[in-house]
A and B are shown apart, each in its own frame.
Chain A
Amino acid sequence: DGGITQSPKYLFRKEGQNVTLSCEQNLNHDAMYWYRQDPGQGLRLIYYSQIVNDFQKGDIAEGYSVSREKKESFPLTVTSAQKNPTAFYLCATLSGTGGYEQYFGPGTRLTVT
């Protein structure tokens, strides 16, 4: 099946630890995105990548890091520098040719205590 996989669905970490969220796609889409959503809030762009080995900061990149070594994968690391990491994280992709809507993964709910 074509789609976007985010794992795990729920993630718990202690404060001060770095944690990496996985996002894998088999849609052959060029662009990939990470968004953060807080309860009752909209989606805020953390990072996005238009091609392999290239990525740009979104509106709330502080405390996060990404890599794009393969077209299929765009992992997000939430570092200890992120002051309020508890949130719902959504990964999305966008076709570089023809298509115009984003496809979203099921999300990872991160809780840091």
Chain B
Amino acid sequence: AQKITQTQPGMFVQEKEAVTLDCTYDTSDPSYGLFWYKQPSSGEMIFLIYQGSYDQQNATEGRYSLNFQKARKSANLVISASQLGDSAMYFCAMRGGNSGGYQKVTFGTGTKLQVIP
């Protein structure tokens, strides 16, 4: 079965610094997609970035980039120039995998990021 692991329950970063949030995944299916979502204290889920398993280049969206290392099965999120508004829970998710079809999407346990002024 597909599995997503986020090993950092909490992280601190100084404002304006860069931070990397770790995510590893486990699947033997060659076709899958990887996502990152942000969840502020309000509870809404905000899509940040997507990486397909066949994409040759790392995905980037503004201050967010995804460091995709396929052989190591890792998909770390890098946030550059952190802002106070970046303080939130961050979830890594995977679409597809060994069972359940390509539409099955499962999430990691999340990392709580706190940006310090």
Contacts and interface: CB of A to CB of B under 8 A. Distances in A.
Interface of A: 30-31, 33, 35, 40-45, 48, 50, 56, 58-59, 88, 90, 92, 94, 96, 100-104, 106-107
Given A42-B91, A101-B50, A106-B43, A59 B103 contact: no
Contact of A48 (B33, B103, B108): B103
Contacts of A101: 35, 47, 50
- Secondary structure call for the A interface: strand
Given A42-B91, A42-B110, A100-B35, 4 more contacts: A56-B101, A90-B45, A100-B52, A103-B47
A24 B6 CA distance: 31
Given A88-B43, A102-B47, A106-B44, A42 B103 contact: no
Contact of B91 (A43, A96, A106): A43
Interface string B84-111: 0000000101010000110111111110
Nearest to A35: B107
